[in-house]
Structure 1
Amino acid sequence: MRSIILFDDPTIRLQLLPFTYTRPVAGIRCGIWTIAEKWSKWLKSEISYQTESHLRHRFPLIKSEDNFYINGALCPDASLIEAIEKLSPESVLLSKENEILAVRTSSPDWTPAANSIILDKHYYEEPIILIRQVWDIFLNNGAQIKADFAKITAAKQSAKLTDPFTFCYNPENIFIEEGALIKAAILNAENGPIYIGKNASIQEGAIIQGPFAIGESSVLAQGAKIRPNTTVGPFCKVGGEVSNCVIFGYSNKGHDGYLGNSVLGEWCNLGANTNNSNLKNDHTAVKLHSYITGKPESTGLLFCGLFMGDYSKAGISTMFNTGTVVGVSVNVFGAGFQSKHIPSFSWGGNAEGFTEYRFEKAIAVAKDTVSRRGIKFDETDEKIVKQVFDQTKNQR
């Protein structure tokens, strides 16, 4: 029996902070599914993780005598699946840039840094989608929605649209899961598919341009304007104007306000009239805080918005600059544009100044936030958050 193990590349993991403070690299959502869900669906197999020690209880590692280690930042496709399935024992599949894509080995001790294990090298010459940087999440989201949509619709039939007041462009490119409720909306799938998850709600007056995906039990509020290449994960509430964004899940942007070229983790909340800038006035490339260098580094992008880690919240009318990084468990509020990097467990705003978010208070708020969705914030969750609190103390 083989084991499918999604490993964290150490450099990529650092580049994908703050999202990888609280999840393995493969836990990142891009398209309809997370990367881990993609591999599980493609390989029709359970998967496990090789990740940071503080995450292992939540994301365990399961080994066997035949281990397939797959780069957790790598998005699968049919060609990649074929190449990985053909790997002989004790061999490695490398990209043209010499990045490790996959390893097949019986060794229980393999890691990306395990130079002592001799492996036969095979090179993969086809194009790949590897989520190396946080902005790669929204840059590749449209293509990944299309890829995931094709995989889902190949094996299932869409539920019927029953609302007579909803208008669809290119309805054959719209997939509706059972239990979804749609009322008086406009769904335009001419330029990409629209996926509506189980028990999701699209409320009156919502306007959607594909590619777009909304996950299980999420709500799109009245009059929401959704521009292309946007994913709303499961159990979210989203309103206002959203363009080319990924919201992982369990997060709320329930009111008017603009969010563009941005990524939100889980258990986040943006207060009413929160807005972000995604384009500089001088049209130069956006710089973003690097967790590797500790300073702003160029993304090479003209459009780049907000990146917010898990459990973070913004008060009403918060304004985020172009290229802003907000860490884990931040409470930001107040007048004026906020700092372009707000470290984890910060409390306050530019006008008021920042203090450290007391750990006991942060945990109490996290527990309350999670319990509102009928989910228990358990001891493992608290240990993960405590580890992040300790790891990030020197940033505050």
Structure 2
Amino acid sequence: MTNYILYDDAAIRRHLLPFTFTRPVSEIRCGILTLTEKWAHFLQAKPSFLTEPYLQTKFPFVATDDNIFINGAVCATSAIAEAVRNLAEGEALAALDQIIAYRSPFEVVDPRQELNVISFPDPIVIIQRVWDIYGENGAQIKADFAALTHDRVSQPLNDPFTRVYAPENVFLEEGAKVRASVLNAENGPIYIGKNATVSEGSVIIGPFALGEGATVNWGAKMRMNTSIGPHCKVGGEVSNSVLFGFSNKGHDGFLGNSVLGEWCNLGANCNNSNLKNDYTNVKLYSYATEAMEDTHRLFCGLFMGDFSKAGISTLFNTGTVVGVNTNVFGAGFQPKHIPSFSWGGLAEGFTEYRIEKALKVAFETVSRRGEAFGETEREILKYVFEISRGYNRK
């Protein structure tokens, strides 16, 4: 039986920090599903991971004599999956300058030089920069919706006080609840996951995805191209943004063209800017170059790594990058780059978040949701704490 392995392209992985500090590239969410889940769906197989050594305990690597190594940054489709399955040993599949996958008993450093390369004829979607996560999100919601709902029937939406536009584009999984809300799927599908809740007075515009067990709070405004991952809680106004899972933005305030990792929390009335007053391209801090990088986008908001939190009324500037396990608070617009394990704010200044205190808060954050936070998770965060000291703290 063929064994599938999702590998991290080293160059791409650095450009996807801070999210890849704590996960392989393929565990990024874009659309309804993570990239891993897309591959698992189309291959009908559970892949393993080839990632950084400190992540392998949580994301194990399994090899056999017949392996297909898949670039974890590629968004799977049925056509790509079929081409991947048909690879012979010693062959690699590529699209333009990107390797999609290769078949080999062992890892190959340079598939283009060492293997027979076959060209994939159609365009592919590959997540190469953090802004691709929200930039591709609307199209990926549509693609995932088609894949997940094919030949299936939605649970009925019987609430008499909910107004639905284009009901054929709305799908509710088992246990999903919608109360006295407006769902407008005329411009794209709306997916409500298992046991998810849309509370009274909410307005949702598709494309939109709400993950399993997630909640849209009362009176929320969910604008198009937004994905709320499993067990998140959201309120206020959210536009073209992705929350990976278990994160909260439960109160009023605006979040636009942004990406939040897992276990993040934005306090009441947190807001971010996503457009510069002079309408020039937004520049964003890059961990790959330790410098500001032109995104070539007019709209670009907040990128926040796992376990980071912001106090009430925190303001984030256009194109702000916040690392892993930070605690940000105080008056004024915060700096455009806040390194991992920082504590403080612009007005008060920043200090290093003490590692034992950070781990205790992380444990409490996860445990109160009934999830496990053990030695594996502790060791990952301790490793990120150490390597983060090497990144530029400007």
Q: TM-score if structure 2 supplies the norm length? A: 0.98
Aligned residue among 218, 223, 237 for 1:222: 218
Partner of 1:305: 301
2:231 & 2:124 partners in 1: Cα distance? 30
**Residues 21-70 of structure 1, C-alpha deviation per residue, up to 9 Å, x if partnerless?**
00000000000000000000111001100000000000001111110111
Partner of 1:296: 292
2:22 & 2:81 partners in 1: Cα distance? 28
Matched, 1:193 2:200: no
1:27-106 to structure 2, matched below 5 A, reads 27-97=27-97, 99-106=98-105
The aligned amino acid for 2:354 is R
1:238-387 to structure 2, matched below 5 A, reads 238-387=234-383
SS of corresponding position for 1:394? coil
SS of corresponding position for 1:264? strand
2:236 & 2:5 partners in 1: Cα distance? 39
* Kept in 1: contact 2:58–2:376 (CA 8 A): yes
Partner of 1:3: 3
2:229 & 2:67 partners in 1: Cα distance? 30
Matched, 1:149 2:145: yes
1:246 & 1:74 partners in 2: Cα distance? 18
1:172 & 1:368 partners in 2: Cα distance? 42
SS of corresponding position for 1:163? coil
Partner of 2:135: 139
SS of corresponding position for 2:37? helix
- The CA deviation at 1:120 is 1.0
The aligned amino acid for 1:93 is L
**Residues 123-182 of structure 1, C-alpha deviation per residue, up to 9 Å, x if partnerless?**
123100000000000000000000000011114221011211000000010000111111
1:263 & 1:274 partners in 2: Cα distance? 14
1:29 & 1:392 partners in 2: Cα distance? 23
- The CA deviation at 1:394 is 2.7
2:335 & 2:124 partners in 1: Cα distance? 35
- The CA deviation at 1:115 is 6.5
* Kept in 1: contact 2:39–2:81 (CA 8 A): no
SS of corresponding position for 1:300? coil
The aligned amino acid for 2:92 is V
2:151 & 2:269 partners in 1: Cα distance? 41
- The CA deviation at 1:119 is 1.2
> Which stretch of the first structure deviates more once superposed, 114-123 or 368-377?
114-123
Partner of 1:206: 202
Distance 1:55 1:155, change over 3 A: farther
2:6 & 2:262 partners in 1: Cα distance? 21
In structure 1, list runs of 5 or more residues that go unmatched. none
Partner of 2:228: 232
2:126 & 2:113 partners in 1: Cα distance? 24
SS of corresponding position for 2:26? helix
- The CA deviation at 1:117 is 7.9
Residues paired across the two proteins, number: 392
Q: TM-score if structure 1 supplies the norm length? A: 0.97
The percentage of counterpart residues that share the same residue type is 59
Question: CA RMSD for the aligned pairs?
Answer: 1.1
- The CA deviation at 1:85 is 1.9
1:17 & 1:307 partners in 2: Cα distance? 10
* Kept in 1: contact 2:92–2:112 (CA 8 A): no
Matched, 1:175 2:186: no
> Which stretch of the first structure deviates more once superposed, 321-330 or 69-78?
69-78
Which consecutive aligned stretches of 4+ in structure 1 deviate over 4 angstroms post-superposition?
Answer: 114-117
Distance 1:242 1:41, change over 3 A: same
1:244 & 1:92 partners in 2: Cα distance? 35
The aligned amino acid for 2:17 is L
